[in-house]
Structure 1
Amino acid sequence: MLAPPVPLRAPTPVAPPPADPLPRRQLLVGGYVLEYALRRSSRRSIGFMVDDDGLRVTAPRRVSLSDIDDAIRAKQHWILSKLEERRERRAARLQKPPMEWVDGAQVPYLGAAIKLRLYTATRNRTDYNPDTRELQMGLVPGATELLLKERVKAWLQQQAKVLFEQRLAIYAARLGVQYSSFLLSSAGSRWGSCTAQRVIRLNWKLIHFSLPLIDYVVAHELAHILEMNHSPRFWAEVGRIYPAYDEARELLRKRAQELPQLFN
């Protein structure tokens, strides 16, 4: 039988993340002063990424700044729409109240919710019961909310690592590719990435979503081993192993907006 909920202390303030080390430039685009972070690389074309930190541009070392600015102007409608979309998502997330870390709290896991059960113990321990879908957390007297959150996060990350490796093996075989290594990511708004060295990174927070959405991101990143872009050839490779990618992409965006505030 579970003991009464553990009284929790206020969490210790978390230090702000380090500043973006990439150089930032400004450009007048469509009546807006657009700021972007510029990264030089050995890639052969100019790439664009929009996340909660704004626009990031990756360009070959031989490309001039004026050519980069021209490429941004040519892509301005897509860039501005994505920036506005990110702004709306961020505003929606900030409006959500943070989850209360108490006994009985609901934690999103694999597209559904599991119940957090807290009890006092002589040592910290974590047990998950898949039949009751309860994550039981034994906490020593005086445990803080910050400690509780870190232990729940550690458990979720452990589950993510095991599951993601399994799904990567399945979809790599279907696509006929091999990746060199796999790492968990904690990116603010990027679900995955693949480097030219075939290093796959997957955001551990994907563990909150259902398996089909996880599989979509896995298929997406593995397809980059064959096509390091988002050209029609790339999407054809994704579709070869995950035909419903368009629906999954939209559903992932929707589910991400619906997530409660769990971790900083």
Structure 2
Amino acid sequence: MDLFGSEAAAPATTPAATPHSANLLRTPETASPPVRPGAPPWTPPVTITPAAPPTATPVRPSAPPPPELPPKRQLLVGQFVLEYTLRRSTRRSIGFMIDDDGLRVTAPKRVSITEIDNAIRTKQHWILSKLHERRERRAARLEKPPIEWVDGAQLPYLGGDITLRLLVGGRNRSTYNPATRELSMVLIPGATELLLKERVKAWMQQEAKLLFEQRLDLYAGRLGVRYHSFALSSAGTRWGSCTVERKIRLNWKLIHFSLPLIDYVVAHELSHLLEMNHSAQFWNTVGLIYPEYEEARNLLRKRAQELPVLFG
């Protein structure tokens, strides 16, 4: 099952300044900065500039063309022409899903187009309201200024901000000090901003994997279930998913949020091991190990809208 919060899946029918400075490293004006324990000796600031373009382009085998997406269908709903993507599956009922690409309908192979259109009309108020909410959220995310990847930048981590510190050294390495909430990135001279962003993302993904595994084991024990495997995802709109093979995936970007919100998603996906749906019994199961799930679900939606643009 996919976790979209309350808006993602309906019951079955019938996450002013220029983008970056030329110099990403701290540049003291009159004195050397204080030396932190374990940090390399300070050296004169080095400008991190974009890598020079290659002089020649290596020849690579041509990649296979991407799979074609199902064509969108159109349906007149009231005064609106509603577009949706139809997918056929072995499921027993018609399901609806809203994401940044619009409405996606999954229906059994035996169900006719007329039945699908009628099901959409039955759910039209829910569908139109959720599409409107999704458009507003997307617009709000795009309006937020991106992070400036300079020394002292503030990055969202576990519900708060941590400070990015940039240092020059002989090799790339990362160090996090929880006492000062500083993430120190030691970069070789000439490192690019792209490399810095990839290094920060890799560190956050590593932290996410370790933390999520701990929380999964904790809540699985409370619920009395066992999952087959766990992996990180980078989905654009899904915070988590659970398959019938008991495989759980959690979006690494949850590491930006506070622990209670992470625990809600963990409890949500583990509950699908017992109830592969979003029925009343499913939410009762979630409530057994996470009673405040409704508050967490709403807060997760709000916090996701407040995130700055990091790696987009």
Amino acid at match of 1:8: I
Q: Single out whichever of 39-48 and 200-209 deviates more from structure 2.
A: 39-48
User: Contact between 1:5 and 1:118, CA under 8 Å: does it hold in 2?
Assistant: no
Aligned: 1:41 with 2:89:
yes
Aligned to 1:200: 248
CA pair 57-6 structure 1, distance change in 2 beyond 3 A? farther
Per-residue CA deviation, residues 115-172 of structure 1 (Å, 9 max, x unaligned), is 1000111111111111111111011111111110011000000111111111111112
Separation in 1 of the partners of 2:242 and 2:309?
A: 27
Aligned length: 259
8 A Cα contact 1:11 1:145, kept in partner: no
Give the counterpart letter for 1:175 in structure 2: L
Matched, 1:59 2:99: no
Matched, 1:183 2:231: yes
Deviation of 1:107 after TM superposition, in Å, equals 0.8
Identity of aligned residues (%): 74
Contact residue 5 and residue 103 of structure 1 kept, 8 A: no
Q: 1:9 aligns with which of 17, 28, 49?
A: 49
Residue in structure 1 matching 2:163, options 108, 115, 129: 115
Aligned partner of residue 162 in structure 2, secondary structure: strand
Q: Whole-Å Cα distance in 1 between the matches of residues 51 and 76 of structure 2? A: 42
1:103 to 2:151 alignment: yes
RMSD after superposition? 1.9
Map 1:17-166; keep pairs closer than 5 Å: 21-166=69-214
* Structure 2 residues without counterparts, runs of 5 or longer: 1-34, 53-65
Q: CA deviation at 1:198?
A: 1.9
Show the counterpart of 1:250: 298
Which of the two has higher C-alpha Rg? 2
Structure 2 counterpart of 1:187, one-letter code: A
Per-residue deviation, 1:79 = 1.1
TM-score by structure 2 length?
0.78
Separation in 2 of the partners of 1:180 and 1:62?
32
Find the aligned partners of 2:199 and 2:136 in 1 and give their Cα distance: 31
Q: Per-residue displacement from partner, 1:169-201 (whole Å, max 9, x unpaired)?
A: 111222222222212111112111112222211
Whichever residue aligns with residue 233 of structure 2, its letter is: S
Offset of 1:24 from its aligned partner?
2.5
Label 1:9 to 1:60 Cα distance change in 2 as closer, same or farther (>3 A). Answer: farther
Which one-letter code corresponds to 2:94 in the other structure? I
1:229 deviation in Å? 1.9
Q: 1:71 to 1:8 in 2, by over 3 A?
A: farther
Contact 1:48 1:57 in 2 (8 A): yes
Deviation at 1:232, TM superposition (A): 1.1
For 1:200, the aligned partner's letter is: I
Q: In 1, distance between residues paired with 2:263 and 2:199? A: 26
Please give the alpha-carbon distance, in whole angstroms, between the structure 2 residues aligned to 1:253 and 1:30.
29
Distance (Å, rounded) in 2 between the aligned partners of 1:238 and 1:20? 37
8 Å CA contact 1:11, 1:146 repeated in 2 = no
Contact conserved, 1:191 with 1:202, CA < 8 A, in 2? yes
Structure richer in helix, relative to its length = 1
